[in-house]
């Protein structure tokens, strides 16, 4: 039944606090999409999942009731537990999320000099709140590609993480920007985001360039020779770890909450299914890179990754795959906009999700979200089975609505999808904020969805 009463406040009890702390640890260990996938991979292996490769044949390998995962491009991962019935007969229960977050990425030539200072050469990734990245302790993480004659590709990927602060985007003093408090901080993406790394005279020796100095430093992080680096994907992140705050410990704050929180909820919910008898329907988790920039990549949600995996599990494309998809449901788990006490006018008057009141179903009649009456009913049923009441979000019609992977995979495959998320503040900030109790509630809702309760 569609419950039209407001969702009740949920207690921040010990299980909620413990779960939130574990989630924060996962996020702190995942400063880049590549680290998020590697951390997920580590957890899946510890839970007894078997790693597959897209380069290999899966024929004769897959066993009913067993669990597997496959990675693509280092930044995306799909994990699944095979059900007892063929996918064409029982379908798949899918949770989808994304591993990337808005941040600041480094250009191919990593550094430059300006007025006696060495600066990282950067550009913004995704729709970040640029002002929140100023005056913060910033660290560097990502991957470097290194020559490896033993590899079939001739190179290997090495994850790097400085862990400690290495740079800062210094704000301009108010004395030189007198209108900043009235007109807001206006940053030029090209001119104002370069972080200071150090002094040129200290760091750069004769016949060296700032880019070479930075590459040498990255090589030291990767424990390789600079001349062996053939490529890199590097980003900056807030070096301050996540924390729980509030006199009642009601809130948590951490970078990359959007959307590593949903990745963690899906991961823990899927692993939890291993304690149960093998399901009839296959259970799957899809974590994609590049959602924040449109998903248009070889490993994004608009790629062939999910379709390729489903086709392999169905025994091919055509009728078996089509029947599987029409018997399947996907929960696209991203974050949602909580009612902000200082900006309540930015919300629709009757659809105002509150923190610590449970998961949010995201609705948009123009299909920016994939939710419809049928798919929202499926998620409400899962919430009810877990003893949770779902909240509803509708964007004010006069404000532009965001989007997720939900509509992309729904349109690409014809996959019935509902878009959901936990309510939060400061979305796309360097440091985001959400309710502690909501985290374990989303985990329980996704567990019930997987179990098809």
Question: 268 and 408: one domain?
Answer: yes
Domain boundary among 192, 213, 238: 238
Question: 154 and 97: one domain?
Answer: no
**DSSP state letter for 416:** -
| 252-275 residue pLDDT tens | 999 999 999 999 999 999 999 998
Q: Name the more confident of 401 and 173.
A: 173
Assign residue 419 the CATH number of its domain. 3.40.630.10
Query: What per-residue confidence (pLDDT) applies to 3?
Result: 82
Alpha helices in 273-404 (DSSP H): 305-314, 319-326, 373-385
Domain boundary among 213, 238, 263: 238
Q: Does 439 map to a domain?
A: yes
Question: 32 and 124: one domain?
Answer: no
- Please give the mean pLDDT across all residues of the chain: 96
| 329-343 residue pLDDT tens | 999 999 999 999 999
Q: Most distant CA pair in the chain: distance in Å?
A: 74
Query: What per-residue confidence (pLDDT) applies to 450?
Result: 97
Count of domains forming the chain: 2
Residue pair 335/424 in contact (Cβ under 8 Å)? The answer is yes
Cα distance between residue 167 and residue 182, in whole Å = 28
Question: 85 and 161: one domain?
Answer: no
Alpha helices in 106-157 (DSSP H): none
pTM to 2 decimals?
0.97
199-204 average pLDDT score: 96
Cα distance between residue 434 and residue 261, in whole Å = 10
Question: 150 and 124: one domain?
Answer: yes
Q: Does 244 map to a domain?
A: no
Question: 294 and 436: one domain?
Answer: yes
DSSP3 helix / strand / coil % (the chain, rounded to 5): 30, 25, 40
Query: What per-residue confidence (pLDDT) applies to 402?
Result: 83
Token pair belonging to 431? 């440091």
Question: 96 and 113: one domain?
Answer: no
Cα distance between residue 255 and residue 237, in whole Å = 8
Question: 417 and 286: one domain?
Answer: yes
Residue whose structure tokens are 């490993």:
299
Cα distance between residue 267 and residue 447, in whole Å = 10
Question: 233 and 280: one domain?
Answer: no
Query: What per-residue confidence (pLDDT) applies to 387?
Result: 96
Is residue 288 classed as helix, strand or coil in its secondary structure? strand
Query: What per-residue confidence (pLDDT) applies to 1?
Result: 66
Of 204, 149, 156, the closest CA to residue 217 belongs to: 204
Token pair belonging to 77? 């991962």
Proportion of the chain above pLDDT 90, given as a percent: 92
Question: 330 and 193: one domain?
Answer: no
The alpha carbon of 181 is separated from its chain's Cα centroid by a whole number of angstroms, namely 32
58-66 average pLDDT score: 94
Proportion of the chain above pLDDT 70, given as a percent: 100
Question: 109 and 93: one domain?
Answer: no
| 358-369 residue pLDDT tens | 999 999 999 999
Q: Name the more confident of 254 and 151.
A: 254
Distances (CA, A) of 376 to 4, 57, 258, 329, 333: 14, 37, 21, 11, 13
| 288-340 residue pLDDT tens | 999 999 999 999 999 999 999 999 999 888 999 999 999 999 999 999 999 99
Burial class (CB in 10 A: 0-12, 13-18, 19+), 372: middle
Cα distance between residue 62 and residue 52, in whole Å = 10
Query: What per-residue confidence (pLDDT) applies to 322?
Result: 96
Assign residue 197 the CATH number of its domain. 2.30.250.10
Has residue 4 got a pLDDT over 90?
no
- The domain containing residue 163 runs over which residues? 103-238
Q: Does 84 map to a domain?
A: yes
Question: 266 and 181: one domain?
Answer: no
Q: Does 6 map to a domain?
A: no
Confidence of residue 350 (pLDDT cuts 50, 70, 90): confident
Q: Does 280 map to a domain?
A: yes
Token pair belonging to 410? 């729904």
Distances (CA, A) of 203 to 113, 232, 322: 11, 22, 59
Domain boundary among 211, 238, 265: 238
Has residue 403 got a pLDDT over 90?
no
């Amino acid at each position: 039944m569609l419950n039209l009463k407001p969702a009740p406040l949920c207690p921040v009890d010990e299980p909620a606090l413990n779960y939130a702390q574990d989630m924060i640890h996962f996020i702190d260990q995942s400063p880049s999409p590549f680290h998020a996938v590697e951390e997920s991979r580590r957890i899946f292996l510890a839970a007894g999942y078997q790693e597959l490769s897209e380069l290999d044949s899966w024929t004769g390998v897959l066993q009913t009731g067993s669990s597997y995962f496959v990675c693509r491009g280092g930044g995306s991962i799909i994990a699944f537990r095979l059900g007892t019935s063929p996918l064409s007969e029982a379908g798949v229960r899918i949770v989808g999320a994304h591993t990337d977050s808005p941040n600041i990425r480094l250009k191919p030539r990593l550094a430059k000099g300006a007025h006696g200072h060495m600066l990282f050469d950067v550009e913004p990734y995704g729709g970040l709140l640029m002002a929140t990245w100023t005056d913060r302790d910033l660290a560097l993480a990502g991957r470097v590609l290194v020559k490896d004659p033993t590899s079939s590709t001739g190179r290997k990927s090495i994850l790097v993480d400085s862990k400690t602060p290495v740079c800062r985007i210094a704000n301009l003093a108010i004395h030189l920007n007198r209108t900043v408090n009235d007109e807001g901080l206006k940053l030029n993406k090209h001119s104002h985001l370069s972080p200071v790394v150090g002094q040129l005279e200290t760091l750069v020796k004769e016949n060296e360039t700032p880019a070479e100095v930075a590459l040498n430093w990255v090589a030291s992080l990767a424990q390789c020779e600079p001349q062996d680096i053939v490529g890199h994907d590097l980003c900056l992140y807030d070096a301050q770890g996540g924390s729980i705050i509030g006199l009642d410990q009601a809130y948590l704050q951490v970078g990359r909450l959007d959307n590593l929180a949903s990745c963690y909820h899906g991961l823990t919910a899927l692993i939890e299914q291993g304690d149960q008898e093998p399901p009839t329907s296959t259970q799957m988790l899809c974590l994609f890179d590049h959602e924040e920039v449109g998903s248009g990549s070889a490993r994004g949600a608009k790629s062939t990754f999910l379709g390729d995996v489903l086709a392999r599990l169905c025994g091919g494309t055509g009728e078996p795959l089509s029947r599987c998809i029409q018997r399947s449901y996907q929960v696209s788990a991203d974050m949602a906009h909580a009612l902000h006490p200082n900006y309540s006018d930015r919300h629709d008057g009757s659809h105002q999700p509150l923190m610590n009141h449970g998961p949010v179903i995201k609705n948009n009649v123009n299909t920016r979200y994939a939710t419809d009456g049928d798919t929202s009913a499926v998620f409400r049923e899962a919430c009810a089975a877990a003893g949770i009441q779902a909240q509803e979000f509708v964007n004010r019609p006069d404000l532009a609505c965001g989007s997720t992977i939900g509509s992309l995979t729904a349109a690409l495959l014809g996959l019935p999808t509902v878009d959901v998320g936990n309510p939060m503040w400061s979305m796309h900030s360097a440091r985001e904020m959400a309710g502690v109790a909501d985290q374990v509630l989303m985990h329980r809702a996704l567990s019930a969805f997987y179990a098809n309760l």
